[in-house]
Amino acid sequence: MKILRSVKGMHDIVDEEIAKWHYVETAYRQHVERYGYREIRTPVLEPIELFVRGIGEATDIVEKEMYTFMDKGDDHLALRPEGTASAIRSYVQHAIGAKEAQTKWYYIAPMFRRERPAKGRYRQFHQAGAELIGVSEPSADAEIIDMAVRYLSDLGLKGIGVQINTLGGSESRARFREALVEFLLNRETDLCGDCRRRLHVNPLRILDCKVPGCIEISRTAPSGLSLLSQEDREHFDAVRRLLDRWGTPYELAPSMVRGLDYYTRTIFEVQVESDALGTKSAILGGGRYDNLVAELGGKPTPTIGYAFGIERLLLVLGETARPKSPVLVFVAGVGEEGGVRAFDVARNLRGFGIRTEVAYTEGSLRSQLKKADRFGATFVVIAGAEEASRGSVTLRDMSTGEQVEVEMDVLASRIGASR
């Protein structure tokens, strides 16, 4: 029979890979919870309108990459391509703003985009992110950037480059858009087909186009920084002062715009120099989106957040992401009575939080030791009838082959001490 395979661009996470996932996910949870973030989980499916309104109709994600379908009840649904729109939908739906003045949420979840699959680019991928809702102060921007960068550097990630820019608030952004359109109209015929259309619907996106001719034009385009309102400038300066004070590395990227429509004021990206992904590669992106809550039907509420791709992070971490594997004990029962006693011993050790395997099938001690070796056991506990009469077992250290008789009462603490 034909073997069925997973959908193109969507992968199983198995074997030693899963330990790496647990490692980065656990480190992420512990890290952001120290800053007061709580987890939020939202559905994988959302009404398509959420992303059209939230991310923007003229973005690549909405125009070209979303998985959308009509369900059997004729509801138009989309697999979520990112986490922020869903988080904000949830925030508005449950009137969280009426209950608390500031909300800190984080998530780790699968996302779906129908991009051309490549190394580090998948159709189902996973993002971990954070949203700080209800705080407009520049300290929120600086703290969340610093939180993200510290997470990555604590993992041991090398070659981190943080780029920041500001798009300004609505007014500054409108001024920038006007200046940009004026500049680009004179060069319209040199733009690619996509950008000629973007010029009329979403000109800022042109600065993000990867076509060489468009990159060349963007290089001389007016900078948004010179068109900022005084308030927007002061906000950005304050963010930078804090980052400088903490020694958080960053560089200014005046032409960075980011791919989603909802950003205002501070935006940032983390890139990593890595052979695994080829040259410089973006692994994290975020920014402020002060209009998004209102656009999704809530009261105007300032918000800032980011997300990074876990697959890309693991690729660039490479061998650095090798978690220390915990002690594994294999309990070998010898003879019929020993076979039963092996399960008593395993239950006892698991009760002390020790990872323990038992042989389900009877066999000679020799064959059980072989089995323990295949499992990668650190210790083997031999539960034989003779030791049973003394209330003890034999503990074998698999790395040295050394064996000692140990009383059951102290077995767990003895193994625990070696962790």
Least spacing, CB of residue 130 vs ligand AMP, in Å: 12
Least spacing, CB of residue 307 vs ligand AMP, in Å: 5
CB nearer to ligand AMP: pick between 85 and 345: 85
Least spacing, CB of residue 370 vs ligand AMP, in Å: 41
Least spacing, CB of residue 50 vs ligand AMP, in Å: 15
CB nearer to ligand AMP: pick between 285 and 338: 285
Cα dihedral 383/384/387/393 (nearest 10): -20
Least spacing, CB of residue 290 vs ligand AMP, in Å: 17
Residues linked to residue 133 through DSSP beta bridges, in sequence order: 103, 303
Max CA pair span of the chain: 94
Least spacing, CB of residue 84 vs ligand AMP, in Å: 8
DSSP letter for each residue of 302-356: -EEEEEEEHHHHHHHHGGGG-PPPPPEEEEEE-HHHHHHHHHHHHHHHHHTT-EE
Cα dihedral 383/385/390/395 (nearest 10): -20
Residue type, 207: L
Q: Which two tokens stand for residue 348?
A: 């006892």
Q: Which two tokens stand for residue 365?
A: 């001690």
Residue of 52, 47, 54 whose CA lies nearest to 75:
47
Least spacing, CB of residue 282 vs ligand AMP, in Å: 4
CB nearer to ligand AMP: pick between 125 and 262: 125
Residues that bind ligand AMP (CB under 6 A): 82, 113, 115, 120-122, 125, 127, 259, 282-285, 307-309, 311-312
CB nearer to ligand AMP: pick between 122 and 330: 122
CB nearer to ligand AMP: pick between 37 and 112: 112
CA terminus-to-terminus distance, the chain: 47
Q: In angstroms, rounded to a whole number, what is the distance separating the alpha carbons of residues 134 and 290? A: 9
Least spacing, CB of residue 81 vs ligand AMP, in Å: 8
DSSP letter for each residue of 259-300: S-TT-EEEEEEEEEE-TTT-SEEEEEEEEE-TTHHHHTTS--
DSSP letter for each residue of 111-132: EE--PPPBTTB-SEEEEEEEEE
Residue of 61, 49, 57, 51 whose CA lies nearest to 202:
57
CB nearer to ligand AMP: pick between 41 and 119: 119
CB nearer to ligand AMP: pick between 279 and 400: 279
CB nearer to ligand AMP: pick between 134 and 259: 259
CB nearer to ligand AMP: pick between 81 and 338: 81
CB nearer to ligand AMP: pick between 155 and 359: 155
Region of 68 (left: φ > 0; alpha: ψ -120 to 50; beta: rest) is beta
- Our measurement of the distance from residue 261's CA atom to the centroid of its chain's CA atoms, rounded to an integer in Å, reads 21
- Our measurement of the distance from residue 46's CA atom to the centroid of its chain's CA atoms, rounded to an integer in Å, reads 20
Least spacing, CB of residue 312 vs ligand AMP, in Å: 4
Residue of 17, 55, 40 whose CA lies nearest to 205:
55
Give the residue closest to ligand AMP by C-beta. Answer: 309
Least spacing, CB of residue 244 vs ligand AMP, in Å: 25
